[in-house]
Amino acid sequence: MKILPDSLLNRLRQSELRLAKSILRWKLQKEGSPVPDDSDLDAAASRLLDEAREIAKKRGMTLFEILKEEARQLFNSKSP
């Protein structure tokens, strides 16, 4: 396994956090729930990513691999 430089790893982690925050914000808005302030949203997104990493580790995959698999299943299940 290749080891990434810290600067690249930090940028990837920040990208994951931004994506998780946007998904959480979208989900809450869709449900009609109030969206918490940024610090609470950051904390929730961070917990979500920690849980996702644990699940990925148990599956022997990376988060990116799981996202690709889920996206593939989503797009293949859509009817024309």
- For residues 40 and 2, the model is more confident at 40
Report the C-alpha gap between 29 and 22 in whole angstroms: 10
Q: What is the pLDDT of residues 16-72, one digit of tens each?
A: 899 889 989 999 999 999 999 999 999 999 998 899 889 888 988 887 788 788 778
Burial of 20 (0-12, 13-18, 19+ CB in 10 A): buried
Q: What is the pLDDT of residues 9-18, one digit of tens each?
A: 888 889 889 9
Report the C-alpha gap between 3 and 12 in whole angstroms: 13
